[in-house]
Structure 1
Amino acid sequence: MARFLLDHGTDPSIRNKAGKTAREILLKGSPLSSALARDGKLEKVLDQLPELPEDEERPEK
């Protein structure tokens, strides 16, 4: 699904209201990342999402 969305123009640099990208949310842990990990698919999804220069550890606001 991630590859499909990226192939069709989804911008992986978009951030949520807390300033996190999809990759950051998956790396920090979320219900979705837990489900993907349980099914053995988390690494595959993360491999599809590019690391962005902004994806660095920042203090929480």
Structure 2
Amino acid sequence: MVQRISTHHGMMAATRPQGRVASMIVSGAASLGMLAMLGAAALWFHYGTTVFFEMIAAGISACF
């Protein structure tokens, strides 16, 4: 007869650390996104809308 190599208990133990890593990645990405949004808002208030949009357009055109 064929026997299972791993048990259900072993599978549960391997899944728990992956959940922690995934939640750390998601929270890190959310923090980075929030930091980018705060930086954009700070530039908007400091330089005004016209200069802000010109800086974004210059940055995009420098990439291509």
Question: Higher relative contact order at CA 8 Å, sep ≥6: structure 1 or structure 2?
Answer: 1
TM over 0.5: no
Return the structure number with greater helix share: 2
* Range of TM-score over shorter length: under 0.3
Pair member with larger Rg? 2
Q: Compute the TM-score of the two structures, normalised by the length of structure 1.
A: 0.26
Q: Compute the TM-score of the two structures, normalised by the length of structure 2.
A: 0.25
